[in-house]
């Protein structure tokens, strides 16, 4: 009987110790530092227009405070190329954006780094960074969107190369007009497929430098504000996906 009591006391003590240890682990302060900034065109200083989510621009963070080979941490930009993350642990980080532009870290055929424009910073309080990049493509409005008599919308744009680097001048694979009811979420991951129109292949690639006219497929079904935007992409994968360069959204009021 005494032996059983001793075992019970020992197990109870171990359980309490384990619970206390777990409680201590939960007492770490949550991340509260801020990393904010923008990704802009190196030539024009204009914001890099992207889309929300993983197929837009994402930032890769490597925390170097505790390891020379840390696990990457990612978060995404807004569709105007700005970013603001208020939940980062204090520390020393290497930061680099990834998106539809010439990579800021370039390697030669042997895998050796030949260019590194990433930034290594101490993140504490509010840290503000600006990255200047060369977009694969520039997508520029030509005039304003036009609401036609039949209820369709016509837009005109010009797509040009955003970099002179020959390694990133692959064929243009697609030019697309996207439409959505939100100005903050319009692009290849958020659009109304009833009205979107795309040109692809030879037609898209042959349109580089020319004025491209795109008209929605149908008239609109309700009176409201819509937002239109054109994206273009090249035959080059960034982290497993061909990513669009965009112009800024414009509002069209359907009355």
Q: Do 250 and 150 share a domain, yes or no?
A: yes
Examine the fold and report which residue of 84, 99, 133 is the final residue of a domain before the chain moves on: 133
With beta carbons less than 8 A apart as the criterion, state whether 137 and 100 touch.
yes
Q: Do 226 and 190 share a domain, yes or no?
A: yes
Q: What is the per-residue pLDDT for 26?
A: 57
CA pair distance 212, 203, nearest whole angstrom: 10
Q: What are phi and psi of 54, to 5 degrees?
A: -65, -20
| Residues 6+ positions from 221 with CB-CB distance below 8 Å | 194
Q: Is 163 helix (H, G, I), strand (E, B) or coil?
A: coil
Q: Do 250 and 181 share a domain, yes or no?
A: yes
Q: Do 153 and 82 share a domain, yes or no?
A: no
Helix (H) or strand (E) segment spanning residue 231: strand 224-234
Q: Do 55 and 148 share a domain, yes or no?
A: no
Q: Tens of pLDDT along 68-85?
A: 889 999 999 999 999 999
Q: What is the per-residue pLDDT for 54?
A: 85
Does residue 143 fall inside a structural domain? yes
Q: Tens of pLDDT along 128-148?
A: 999 999 999 999 999 999 999
The residue range of the domain holding 165 is 137-254
Does residue 74 fall inside a structural domain? yes
Does residue 169 fall inside a structural domain? yes
Examine the fold and report which residue of 92, 111, 133 is the final residue of a domain before the chain moves on: 133
Q: Do 116 and 77 share a domain, yes or no?
A: yes
Q: What are phi and psi of 85, to 5 degrees?
A: -115, 115
Count of domains forming the chain: 2
Q: What is the per-residue pLDDT for 25?
A: 53
Q: What is the per-residue pLDDT for 222?
A: 73
Does residue 10 fall inside a structural domain? no
Q: Which residues of the chain have pLDDT under 50?
A: 1-12, 14-23
* Predicted TM-score (pTM) of this structure: 0.86
Q: Do 103 and 152 share a domain, yes or no?
A: no
Which CATH number does the domain housing residue 238 bear? Answer: 2.60.40.2060
* ∠ CA 61-88-243, rounded to 5°: 40
Q: By C-alpha distance, which of 95, 97, 85, 70 is closest to 36?
A: 85
Does residue 23 fall inside a structural domain? no
Which CATH number does the domain housing residue 101 bear? Answer: 2.60.40.1120
Q: By C-alpha distance, which of 202, 134, 132 is closest to 168?
A: 134
Q: What is the per-residue pLDDT for 10?
A: 42
Q: Do 154 and 232 share a domain, yes or no?
A: yes
CA pair distance 220, 206, nearest whole angstrom: 30
């Amino acid at each position: 009987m005494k032996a059983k009591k001793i075992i019970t006391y020992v197990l109870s003590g171990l359980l309490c110790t384990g619970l206390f240890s777990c409680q201590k682990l939960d007492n770490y302060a949550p991340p509260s530092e801020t990393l904010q900034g923008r990704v802009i065109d190196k030539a024009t200083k204009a914001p890099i227009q992207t889309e929300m989510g993983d197929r837009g621009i994402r930032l890769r963070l490597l925390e170097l405070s505790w390891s020379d080979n840390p696990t990457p941490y990612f978060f995404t930009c807004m569709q105007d190329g700005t970013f603001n993350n208020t939940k980062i642990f204090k520390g020393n980080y290497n930061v680099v954006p990834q998106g539809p532009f010439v990579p800021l870290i370039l390697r030669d055929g042997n895998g050796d780094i030949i260019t590194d424009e990433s930034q290594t910073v101490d993140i504490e309080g509010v840290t503000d960074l600006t990255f200047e990049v060369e977009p694969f493509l520039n997508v520029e409005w030509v005039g304003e969107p036009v609401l036609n008599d039949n209820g369709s919308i016509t837009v005109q744009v010009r797509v040009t190369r955003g970099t002179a680097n020959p390694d990133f001048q692959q064929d243009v694979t697609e030019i697309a007009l996207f439409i959505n009811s939100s100005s903050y979420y319009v692009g290849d991951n958020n659009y109304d497929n009833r009205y979107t129109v795309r040109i692809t292949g030879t037609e898209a690639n042959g349109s580089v430098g020319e004025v491209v006219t795109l008209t929605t497929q149908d008239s609109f079904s309700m009176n409201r504000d819509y937002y239109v935007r054109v994206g273009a992409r090249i035959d080059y994968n960034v982290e497993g996906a061909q990513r669009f360069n965009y112009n800024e959204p414009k509002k069209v009021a359907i009355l």
